[in-house]
Amino acid sequence: MPASSHKIAIKRAYDPPVAGDGVRILVDRLWPRGLRKDAAHFDQWRKDLSPSTELRQFYGHRPERFAEFTTRYLAELRKKEAAAAVAELIDINRRRSITLVTASRDLTHSEAAVLAKHVQRVISRRSGSQGRRTAPERAG
- Residues 20 and 27: their CA atoms lie apart, in Å, by 19
- Residues 113 and 106: their CA atoms lie apart, in Å, by 10
State residue 2's pLDDT score.
Answer: 46
- Residues 21 and 87: their CA atoms lie apart, in Å, by 20
pLDDT band for position 1 (50/70/90)? Answer: very low
**Is residue 140 scored above 90 in pLDDT?**
no
State residue 127's pLDDT score.
Answer: 78
State residue 139's pLDDT score.
Answer: 57
For Cα atoms 59, 63, 66, give the angle at the middle one, nearest 5 degrees.
Answer: 55
Each domain of the chain, given as residue ranges in start order, spans 8-138
Helix, coil or strand: residue 125: helix
**Is residue 129 scored above 70 in pLDDT?**
no
Nearest CA-CA partner of 24 in 94, 101, 87: 101
Q: What is the pLDDT of residues 80-122, one digit of tens each?
A: 889 999 999 999 999 999 999 999 999 999 999 999 999 999 9
Residue 119 in contact with residue 135, Cβ under 8 Å?
A: no
State residue 15's pLDDT score.
Answer: 92
Q: What is the pLDDT of residues 41-91, one digit of tens each?
A: 999 999 999 999 999 999 999 999 999 999 999 999 999 889 999 999 999
**Is residue 135 scored above 70 in pLDDT?**
no
**Is residue 11 scored above 90 in pLDDT?**
yes
Helix, coil or strand: residue 121: helix
